[in-house]
Each structure stands twice: as C-alpha cells, then as structure tokens.
Amino acid sequence: MEQILDVYAQTNALRDVDTRLKLLLGVCAIIIGVASQSPAAPFFIAVSMAFITVALAKIPVRLYASLITIPVSFAIFSAIIILLMSGGGEPIFTFFIAGYPIGATTASANLALLVVMRTFGGMCSLYFIALTTPITEIFSVMHTLRFPRGLIDLSMLIYHFIFVLIGETISIHTAQVLRHGYDTFRNSVQSFAMLGAMVFIRAWQQGEDLVIAMDARCYDGKLELADESRKPGRVVIGATIVYLGACAYLAWLTATMNIF
Amino acid sequence: MEGFLPPFWCVFWFAVSLPFVAYGCYRLDRLVREERETLPLLAVAGAFVFVLSSLKLPSVVTGSSSHPTGTGLSAILFGPFLTSVIGLIVLLFQALLLAHGGLSTLGANVFSMGIAGPFVAYGIYRCGKTIRLNTFVTIFVAAAMADLVTYLVTSLQLALAFPAQSGGIVGAFVGFALIFAVTQVPLAIVEGVIIALTFKYIIQSRPDILVRLDVLSQEQVTKIREAFK
C-alpha cells in the first residue's frame, strides 16, 4: 500500500492558513515553473518550495526525501531518452547502435535539463499542496468557485469510500498473504482478482447502506458543505505575492539562458 | 508527472479533455436528479478504481512497479462519459493523496487514462456483446485494450511534445512506445485476466448488480452460472 499523505495535510504547521492562499501559491508556482524557458526558475521554485514545506509546514525531512526521489528518478530516466532522441545545435557525443547513430547535442542537453528541472519544481509545488492542504478544504474552495454540484458531491463520496475500502483491502490482503496467496505468479493473479472482486462487492454493499442512511436523513440529491475559511493576514498575502512575483521575474530574466 | 509536458501541450490536452468531462458532468447531474441512489454507487466505483490503481499488480518483469488502471472495469459498468468524470476525480486524488501524476499534466492524463482507454474498452465490450462473443473473452480483451490504448496515447502525447531528430513525431512515438512496451504489454495481459476473474467472482456472488447496470442480461447471467456449476 502506498503512503497516504492526508495525515500530514491534516496535522502540519500550515494547516490553518487560508486554503485559497495555499492553492494560489502552489498552482501559480507550477504554472510559472512549466512556462519557464530556462532551468533556473524551476530550480529556484523547487528549492524554495521544499524549504517552505519542510521548515514552515514542519514535514519530516526523511519523508519528504523519500517522496521526491521516485518522480525525480523517473524524470531523469525520461530525460535521458529525450537527450538521445531530440536534436539541434552542436553534437556533444555520438555512438552507434546497430548502425544507427545515437547521440546528444547541445540543444537536446538543454531540453533534457529543462525537463528535469520543470518536473523537480512542479513536484515540489505539488507536494506543497498535497502536504499542507486537507482535501476537505479543497472541496469548499471548489464549491466557492462554482464547480458542478454533481462533481463535488461525487468527489466527496469517493474520498469517503477510499478510506473505507483501504481498510477492507488491507485486512483481506493480509489474510491472503498469511495463507500463501502470493507465493507463485499464478496464485498471485488468482488472489489479486479475488481481492478486487471482494472489495468491489463489499464496497457496493456499503454504498447501498449509505443510500438507505442518507434517505432516512432526507437526502435530496445534494450534500451541504460547511464553509469556515478565515481571512489570512496582510503580511502572508504580501509575502505570497512577492514570492510569486520574484519567481516570474526570474523566469523572464533567464528566458534566453542556456547551460550547454 | 508534474512539469513534464511543455506549457502548450498542457493547455492543449486540457482543452481536448474538457468537452468529454463537461458532458460527463451533465450526464452525472441528470442521473443524480433522476435516480438519487446511483450517486453513492458511482462513488464506490471511483474509490474502487483509486484503491485498485494504488495497489501493486503481480508483475511479470521483476523490479518494475506496475499499477493497473482499473478504468476498464468502470467503463464496462457505467459507460465512458461517467468514467471520464471518475477518471478526473481519481487522478486528482492520486496527485493530492499519493503525489502521483500532477496538476499541470492532469488534462493529458485524463485524456489517456479517463477518456481514450475507457472509450475503447466500452466499444469493445458492446461489440463483443452484440456479436455474442464469450463474455469473459470480451471482458479480457476490453480491459487489456483499455490498458494498451492508455499507454499508446501516453507515448503519443510524449512524442508530440518531444519529437525525435530523426523520424520526427513518428520516430519519437515508436521510441517511447517500445520502451513502455517492456512493462506495459505483460501488464495489460495480467490486468485483462484479473478484471475478467473479478467479473467471474461478481457474477458468482452478486449478479444482480450487473443486471441492474445493464452490463449483462438476466439470461446471460443464468447461462454463465449454469456453466460454473
């Protein structure tokens, strides 16, 4: 089972900061990072976002490091493919595989570096949102932004059922492992299918029970949301705007910069 | 992954996915108004896709962590438009709860996993049902193809964003597709087998669910259950 980040979102030190401000900071940082033409701005965003998440929101460094390794290693792997496939500029090195020339050029090296840095910056900004903002608060913001009713209600119910199902899945999975259910490949396919089907059936029953429970409480097809947002202080708003401005300025300033 | 696609392609895939999701939302709102009891059941399917895709599938290629998409199942049960809405929500939760995927690449991911794959799975399932192909064979092909199409579309998205020097977009597409094929082809087959077996267990214990959703007719269920006795 994967690590569920919701626990940290509910308990971190920035939990009570206004949700809209946190979403604005995270989403704008992602947009600036993606739109940037040079690796400098995304790198700055990555380092500062990591700092904010670890130092201000007090997320354990060890957890943060283990989270960031997976996407960054994937990004590096994919960037190597881009490095070898795209072209332009001066060749740096070339070698032959089965008679085909494969190599890196200055333009492809710049592109690969840019992609790695954008992913790094983007992931750090995404982790900032995921680790500091509880999903329940995001529903309230979606509601204020007038997202379709059905979409919000469905999201809230899916969110509720995820935790119900994870509990069921863990118990069934443990029972299967104890009975050598995943010993051979054949067994594991059987067990996994059985696990999937049983979780589905149990979940379906839970869904039917919920319908009855909701009907008993006069459910009319709409779920109500309690909106309790506090206004953030001027200093915090100011700091956010200055930070985003600095990131955007850095991206604009270094737009034509190339490493190779 | 967050930040992997260039800005133009992020916006492009959001624009492509939007009409599908918007129509899905419209269908969802209408469905909720007409049959209130379907909303919790759709939610169950969404949560199921989320949990299934966060589990590691038994993998043939050791060392690769592979995740089933699970959207094939949802497409067969609820149709492709509602699945695109479920796909959007599941991908958003994966980004926020598990830090998989990303927000800027959400449009591209919704298109490959929530729209292209489910549409193909639904099409195959309906065709198979019309020409009266064996139900489990149809489900296997539909689920496996949903997975394969998802990864082919992802390769195409990457190739459009990063064309190769020799061969351009086609060259890059072949390159990305070949690299993914190593893990994705065995994965698609395993996922197809698992979804087909999942259906077998559902037919054995709760066939009424499938009849109600118009996935199978009552006579098909009776026939299949007879065959297992």
In a domain, residue B184? The reply is yes
* Number of domains comprising chain B: 1
B1 is a domain residue:
no
The verdict on residue B2 lying in a domain is no
Whether residue A127 lies inside any domain: the answer is yes
A139 within domain boundaries: no
Tens digit of each residue's pLDDT (9 = 90 or more) over A83-120: 877 766 677 777 666 666 667 777 788 888 888 888 88
In a domain? residue A208 = yes
pTM of the predicted protein model: 0.84
Q: Which residues of B touch A118 (CB under 8 A)?
A: 3-4
Residue B219: partners with Cβ closer than 8 Å, 6 or more residues away: none
Say yes or no to pLDDT of A260 above 70. no
Q: 3-state SS string over A56-104? A: HCCCCHHHHHHHHHHHHHHHHHHHHHHHHHCCCCCEEEEEEECCEEEEE
State the nearest Cα–Cα gap between B44 and chain A, in angstroms.
6
Per-residue model confidence as pLDDT tens digits over A57-74:
888 888 888 888 877 877
A123·B1 Cβ contact <8 A:
yes
For chain A, what is the domain count? 2
Distance CA(A42)–CA(A121), nearest Å, equals: 5
Q: Taking a C-beta distance cutoff of 8 angstroms, is the pair A49, A38 a contact?
A: no
CB spacing of B206 vs A204 below 8 angstroms: yes
* A1 — pLDDT class (breaks 50, 70, 90): very low
Q: What residue of B is the nearest CA neighbor of A118?
A: B3
Mean pLDDT (chain A) is 81
Residue B94 belongs to what domain range? 7-228
Whether residue A179 has pLDDT greater than 80: yes
Q: Closest to A169 (Cβ–Cβ): which among B51, B92, B164?
A: B51
How close A22 gets to chain B, by Cα (Å)? 13
The ipTM assigned to this model is 0.82
Test mutation, A162, A198, A211, chain B, max B CBs within 10 A:
A162
**Residue A99 and residue A210 share a domain:** no
A88 and A52 together in one domain: yes
Q: For residues B21 and B88, what is the distance between their CA atoms, to the nearest angstrom?
A: 8
Asked if B47 and A122 come within 8 Å (Cβ–Cβ), the reply is no
Alpha-carbon gap: A136 to the closest alpha carbon of chain B (Å) = 11
A170 shares a domain with A68: no
A87 with B197: Cβ contact below 8 A = no
Q: Which amino acid is at B96?
A: L
Same domain, A31 and A122: yes
Range of the domain at A95: 6-133+230-253
Do residues A189 and A212 share a domain? Answer: yes
Chain A residues whose beta carbon lies within 8 Å of the beta carbon of residue B85: 150-151, 154
Task: Mark A36-45 as b/e (b = at least 16 C-beta within 10 Å).
Answer: bbbbbbbbbb
